[in-house]
Amino acid sequence: METLRNRGAVDGAPLGGWTALIDDIVAGKWTNPETGERPSVPYDSIVIAESLAGREADLVKSLDLGSSFTVVADHATWEAMGARVAKALESLGPVKTVLLDHPHADMATVEDLTERLKGAEGLVAVGSGTINDLVKYVTGLDGRRYCVFGTAASMNGYTSTTASITLESGLKVSLPSHAPAGFFVDLSVAAQAPTYLSAAGFADCICRSVAQVDWWMSHRLLGSVYANSPYIIQAQDEIELNRRAAGIGRGDVEANGYLYRVLTLCGLGVSFTGMSHHGSMGEHQISHYIDCFAGDRHPGTLHGQQVGVASLTMARIQRHFLDSATPPRIGPTRIDRDDMVRRMGVDVADQCLADIAPKIYDQRDADEINVRLADLWPTLREELRAFVIPVDEMTKLLKAAGGPTTAAELGVPVDFYREAVMHCREMRNRYSFLDIAADSGVLDELVAAEV
């Protein structure tokens, strides 16, 4: 069985190929070195190769999805790989295609796709975030197995068991779903995708450090659930990926290979824990706020691009506290429902208020937390600093990969971006340094520095 020790950092693919370690996890052979447990994941096959040409039909056949097939793609992903996959599947049985026109991962599209896929047997998604989330969610509703051929390394949701869907209210949430039976990557296709897509996926990886700081703080301070296994499996590959950040910006196959590895391992971490906290804390809340409430101010940027900029914001907010030997001191949580209604609408505001109720603290709660902070801070501060990638280094990596690093570069109006940072903590019950900053009275000042 492969171990983390023998993978090594070498040029080209990792020792054992692009799915080294991933194969052991899928087969249930990987042992968590901290617990001795062997976690199970709900996948039959994950294949990442420099080329899948000529293998498409055999990969799908191995999953036993049925005797007829429906390929779901949009026009861009059809050109990138969908037509090729559909043609290959003709050797296995009848093939239908469902081409979506500029789809959005929202409930209206879910309803439309559910109707269009009635009676479909072997479902094959060809695409990235939106296509995968839609097919994942629709098939998850009735338990039909599906597989996905990734066309761009733009996000980490390929192997997760949740789907990011915008509700009818306009609120974007991660809904429980199921995993693809098979996930297949042709790196030559990924490397030919527009580089801004890979840069977005890279940004969705680099948030690891700020998410881990938030999650560990929440665990130590509030006793929330925490698991180290998602970080263990991707630690070495994160180093290798960051070494190749510039390769992302020029469409390098090797850089995309490591990017897909980290994205895949991050998704497998969701299967380990049943939650996405290891890669989604304060920085993702900022991005979700932009997607939910920007309206016509939204520049059309990708979730990952927004996460990259938000990760730098979170790194600066966290640094404000971690640079100080004096522990933060919070007061009662102040939430203005009327202002939430003004910004979000009454239905979304009340839905969010219900979700965040556990982290709305009165004076007694705040006093208890301050006692814990005073006791924990000397140790907690050093624990958290061990997770940090310095914000200047993160900025250099994002720039090298071709990603935006400021709200202005995103094209998001700076005043709205500041609103997102200020109020995104109102959307989800995940306690982060945004909450610490707000409840200690310094978030306004920190937000004002964001450009």
Residue type at position 276:
S
Measure Cα distances from 206 to 30, 106, 191, 257, 291 in Å. 24, 26, 19, 16, 20
Q: 22-193+234-273 maps to which CATH number?
A: 3.40.50.1970
Give the number of residues written for the chain.
Answer: 451
pLDDT at position 11 is 66
∠ at Cα 34 (31, 39), nearest 5°? 35
Cα 283 → chain centroid: 11
How many CB atoms within 10 Å of residue 286? 27
- Say how far apart CA 230 and CA 228 lie, in whole Å: 6
pLDDT at position 448 is 97
In which residue are the tokens 């049985």 written? 93
pLDDT at position 156 is 84
- Which residues does residue 123 pair with via DSSP β-bridges, in sequence order? 70, 146
Give me the residues of the chain with pLDDT under 50, please.
1-10
Region(s) of the chain under CATH 3.40.50.1970: 22-193+234-273
How much of the chain is helix, strand and coil, in % rounded to 5? 55, 10, 35
Task: Indicate whether this model's pTM tops 0.85.
Answer: yes
277-448 belongs to CATH 3.40.50: no
Torsion region of 103: left, alpha or beta (phi above 0 gives left; psi -120 to 50 gives alpha):
beta
Region(s) of the chain under CATH 1.20.1090: 277-448
pLDDT at position 271 is 86
DSSP, residue by residue, 130-192: HHHHHHHHHHHHHT--EEEEE-----S-TT-SEEEEE-TTS-EEEEE----SEEEEEHHHHHH
Q: In sequence order, which residues have a C-beta less than 8 Å from that of residue 10 and are 6 or more positions away?
A: none
How are beta strands 172-176 and 162-166 bridged, if at all? antiparallel
pLDDT at position 101 is 96
| Secondary structure (3-state) at 21 | coil
How many CB atoms within 10 Å of residue 118? 7
pLDDT at position 1 is 34
Output phi, psi for 390, to 5 deg: -55, 140
CA atoms within 13 A on the CB side of 32: 15
Residue type at position 209:
S
Measure Cα distances from 361 to 234, 341, 368, 420 in Å. 35, 20, 10, 21
Radius of gyration over alpha carbons of the chain, in Å?
22
pLDDT at position 18 is 98
